[in-house]
Structures are given as structure tokens and as C-alpha cells.
Structure 1
Amino acid sequence: MGHVTTDDGVKLYFEEVGEGTPIVFVHEYAGDHRSWEPQMRHFGRRYRCITYAARGYAPSDIPESPEAYGQDRAREDIRSILDGLGIDAAHIVGLSMGGFATLHFGFHHPDRALSLTVAGCGYGADADRREQFRKETEATADRIAAEGMDVVGKAYAIGPTRVQFETKDPRGWKEFETQLCEHSTLGSANTMRGVQARRPSLYDLVDQMNALTVPTLIVNGDEDDPCLDVGNFMKRMIPSAALSVLPKTGHTMNIEEPALFNAVVEDFFHTVECGRWGLRDPRSTTGAIITAGPVNDK
């Protein structure tokens, strides 16, 4: 455990375990570095695993201004972790807010990513719900600032894509809720305003997706409704992408279904490391339904 310092002087706390090919885990808004414990324990047996607390999440620094937060900052903070630990390239695994950062990292630093796992990524992307998402993020940030994260966290933990976790694993969900309520009020409000509310819609990033050739795995829970359509969209737009959907699963999939999540991601890593993860066969995108082309009866 220790800290690395970003280009703008923010200290990011990290923990690591294991040896071998590196993996960097990037947490969601409602999580922190502790959210990846099932993955640190599993993958740490064969990989060098790094998890870190994003800016605004103790014990990392908590900048006072919302302007110190943003999608570009989140992307470059991944690079700072790699640079600070002397890592040339790693498997990057991100959930939700961390999934957005992971995807953008792949756009801007493809040479630093052995692969990209983009999980639970899509909130606020739909064009017809952008304004609703903006209003909800602003209202949530205001409520956090007024009431404190120890209060708002309890409501956030039982959102419509998190009740699945509570139903399946009340003990695990309670640990998640407790950790969420421990988050910094200032950091949580600023992250909501600076990162969540301002990030671009994924539907506006088609050119970047079309150009992405880093091996990419998109993972969604089938009851994480805000991510399902955009997950399919990313699968179609990214030529190096595959899509995995976990059944009867919500948003917090890596701790809700850790064994299943780990198995899917581990198989992805193995395929990439064996050199068998190619781009999508163009014959599968011709637009035909049954045959490859016109049928010749002669």
C-alpha cells in the first residue's frame, strides 16, 4: 500500500498483491478500493493486482473544487497509477464510473492496456434521458452536500439496480452499504458533479469505438437496465469487443456474483494472453440474416 501523485498533484492511495502480469481495478461511484476485495484475493494468486481509491475517496486526496474532477482526470489517474508503479501496460478492469474511465483510457492510451474490461457502463448515455440524468445527478450532489454521505448512502445502496445484491447476499450488501456511508461527503458530491454529471454520452463516441482494437470485454447484469442497451451498442461498435451478461444480476456485479464475474474475466484474460482474441470476423456484420450473400440456384 502507498500513494502515487498525479500530474495535478493529487495523491492516490493504492494497494497491491501478487506477482506476474498486472491488473488494475478501477472502482465505481458507490465503491472504493475495498470493493475489489474478491478480485484481489482471486486474481492475486496468479497476477500482480492493484486497486486504488479514486480522487475524492479517502485515503486518497479529496480536492475541494469540483473542477479538479472529471472524465479526463479519471482517465489520466489510471495512467498515473501505471506510471507511479513502473508498469508499462496492464489489464484494466473498471465497473460503472470505473468502466467509463477504463473505456476512455483505452481510447487515449491503447498501448498501455493489455485488455479492457468495461463492466456496468452506460448510466446517462441514452439521448432521451440525458436531461433526466443531469437533473438526478445535480439533485443527488445537492442532497449529499446538505445531508452527508452517511445519510444519503443508505438510500443510494438500495437503488433499483442494487436491491438484487441485498436480496441475494444481505451480509455482503450490508458491508457494501457500510463502506458507502463512510465515503467523504465533499468527495462524493464533487465526484457526482465533476465526473458523473459531465461525462459525454457513449452514443457520441462512435468514432473512438470503431477505432478501438484493444481486446475488450463488456460485462453487464441482466437486471442493470440502464446498461443493457448501451452494452449491446458498444459490442456492435467496438470491433475487438465481446459481451457477457450475468443472469439475475444488478449493477454491483463483482461483489454480488464474484465467482461468476471472476470466471468470465479470467477466461477473457487467458484468451487474450494466448493471442487468440481477434477482431470480429467481418463476415458476421454483412447485414444478412441466414446466408453470406445471394443464393445461386444454378
Structure 2
Amino acid sequence: MRSEPVLPLQTALINGYAMSYTEYGSGTPLVLVHGSLSDCRYWKSQMAPLGKSFRVLAVCLRRYWPEAWDGEGDGFSIEQHASDVLEFIDTVAGGPAHLVGHSRGGRVALEAALRQPDALRSLTLADPGLPLPGGDDSRGGFRQRALALIRQGDVEEGLALFVDTVTGPETWQRMVPWFKEMVRDNVGTLFGQADEQPEALTPQQIGTLKLPTLLIGGALSPAPYPAVLDALSQWVPHAHRVTVVGSSHGMNLGNPRAFNGAIDAFIGG
């Protein structure tokens, strides 16, 4: 049975915000950026295995747990989160870092890489949440529908709708207790995310990436993630692509051995 370390929550002042994070291991910094309704706890299956080779730092983005945000006020945006990640790398990681982003966190990580590539040693995007130019997201405003359910008091139904849409039918029902607790703790961030309309990055913008880039997808991930990775594979010709077998969107939890091995082989090989 796999044993996972219980890591203390640390805090650093980042762009005027008390950003929480956990840390494990030593050596070259490896920064992990979570996606929607998540926080540093999402990476619990990565900390010790990757910490054997790297100084692993898992952040809690602005407005996510442990802050209990109610959706009031600003500071929730891809741009702000990318700025915070870059400042975190500079002040806490202490220099250029390997950067890993999952889902919405992949969009944050990509924004950071395009803005300040010299801050990074490599970029890993796991099923990144990117709107494609000219693309039409067939999921039909699921964020707004999930938020509407939550606002009327149907929190479990709203969270189930969100999680099942991005990961697959009945995922919420199968989720373990700690994961559901993490999602509930971050329910307020949907107020910020539902109104987000990040500008679609063009192939020309993404094509300027010269960093070593790893693209990771789940073999069972639903649309639009496979199409996003197909596009990125074309736009970043030097990128290396890995598919995690037997797993959907949460591939780092569904098959952590394969996920961790892909990252270790790519940036440590």
C-alpha cells in the first residue's frame, strides 16, 4: 500500500497575497500547478515519488483553499495566477524551475511560459484547458449550469455536473472522500471561473515556445482535451507527447506511476 507524506502547509507573500504551498525533496525545483476546484492536495501522489529527484513545490493558487473565497473581489484570473506562479518561482523556488500544469493550471502554466520563458527549465502540460481558435466547446456552458445549481443550494449536484463533465460520467460518485473534501473546499472559485473568458492563444503565439515541452493526456480523457493536445503537438513541433493508459482527465491520480514516470524520464533523463 502506497504511503504518502503528510506535508505542512507553508505560506509565502506573493504579489501581496499569502500564497500557501507544500514542499518535498531537494534539488532542482519542480513547481506543480493544480486545476479547477483543486489545490496543492491534488498532487499528493506526486510529492514523494518526484521528491526523490527534485525539490517539489505544489502551490495553492490565489483564491483557492485554504482561503474560503465567496467570489467577492478581484484577483481570480489566468493572468493573475500566471503572475503569481512566476513570482513564486523567483522568490520561493529561487530560480528557474520545471513547471507542470494540469487542466486550467495548464493554461496558467502556458501563460507563464510565454510571458517569461527564462524563468523555466521545462514545461509540462497535462490535459491543459485551452480554448482553441475558432473552436466550439460542445460542453454547453457547463460551468454556468454547475454554478446555478450551487447557488440554489444543490451543491453536490453542481459539483457532480462539473467533475463528470471534465473527467467522465459518474466520476464524482466514484471519487474518494479526500478528493470530494478538496473540491467542496474550493467551490467558491467557481464564482470566478464561470465568468472567465480567456483569450484563445494563436498557433503563432504558442509556436514561439522554445522550452523543452511535455504533453500528457489521459487515454480516456473526454473532449476537448485530446483535440487540444493534437493542436499543441502541431504548434510545438519539438514537444514530446505521452498518453497515460487506463486513465481519464485525472491521470496523475488514476495512474500515478505512469504519470510520475513520464515526468521523471522527461526532465530527469
Same fold, judged at TM 0.5 (above): yes
Instruction: Sort the TM-score into its range (normalised by shorter chain).
Output: 0.7 to 0.9
State yes or no: 1:137 paired with 2:136: no
For 1:64-105, what per-residue CA distance to the aligned partner results, in whole angstroms no more than 9, with x for missing partners?
446421111121111121133152111101100111111111
2:228 alignment partner in structure 1: 230
2:5 alignment partner in structure 1: none
Q: State the TM-score, normalizing by the size of structure 2.
A: 0.86
1:186 to 177, 185, 188: 188
Identity %: 22
State yes or no: 1:218 paired with 2:215: yes
For residues 155 and 211 of structure 1, the distance between their equivalents in structure 2, rounded to whole angstroms, comes to 36
2:14 alignment partner in structure 1: 6
1:250 alignment partner in structure 2: 248
**More displaced stretch, 155-164 vs 172-181:** 155-164
1:205 to 202, 207, 224: 202
2:47 to 29, 40, 43: 40
Q: State the TM-score, normalizing by the size of structure 1.
A: 0.78
1:279 alignment partner in structure 2: none
For 1:16-65, what per-residue CA distance to the aligned partner results, in whole angstroms no more than 9, with x for missing partners?
11110110000010321101011101111221110111112121474844
Specify the SS of the correspondent of 1:68. coil
State yes or no: 1:70 paired with 2:77: yes
For 1:238-258, what per-residue CA distance to the aligned partner results, in whole angstroms no more than 9, with x for missing partners?
133111112232111111110
Specify the SS of the correspondent of 1:159. helix
For 1:173-221, what per-residue CA distance to the aligned partner results, in whole angstroms no more than 9, with x for missing partners?
44322321232x433322332xxx31122xx421221111000001111
Residue 222 and residue 97 in structure 1: after superposition, are their counterparts in 2 closer, same or farther (change >3 A)? Answer: same
1:265 Cα offset (Å): 1.0
Specify the SS of the correspondent of 2:209. coil
Aligned length: 260
Flag structure 2 segments of 5+ consecutive residues without an equivalent: 1-8
Specify the SS of the correspondent of 1:230. helix
State yes or no: 1:85 paired with 2:92: yes
Q: Which of the pair is proportionally richer in helix? A: 1
1:113 alignment partner in structure 2: 120
State yes or no: 1:147 paired with 2:153: yes
For residues 164 and 205 of structure 1, the distance between their equivalents in structure 2, rounded to whole angstroms, comes to 34
Query: RMSD of the TM alignment (CA)?
Result: 2.6
Flag structure 1 segments of 5+ consecutive residues without an equivalent: 272-298
Residue 55 and residue 162 in structure 1: after superposition, are their counterparts in 2 closer, same or farther (change >3 A)? Answer: farther
For residues 46 and 98 of structure 1, the distance between their equivalents in structure 2, rounded to whole angstroms, comes to 23
For residues 172 and 252 of structure 2, the distance between their equivalents in structure 1, rounded to whole angstroms, comes to 14
Residue 223 and residue 189 in structure 1: after superposition, are their counterparts in 2 closer, same or farther (change >3 A)? Answer: same
Residue 174 and residue 63 in structure 1: after superposition, are their counterparts in 2 closer, same or farther (change >3 A)? Answer: closer
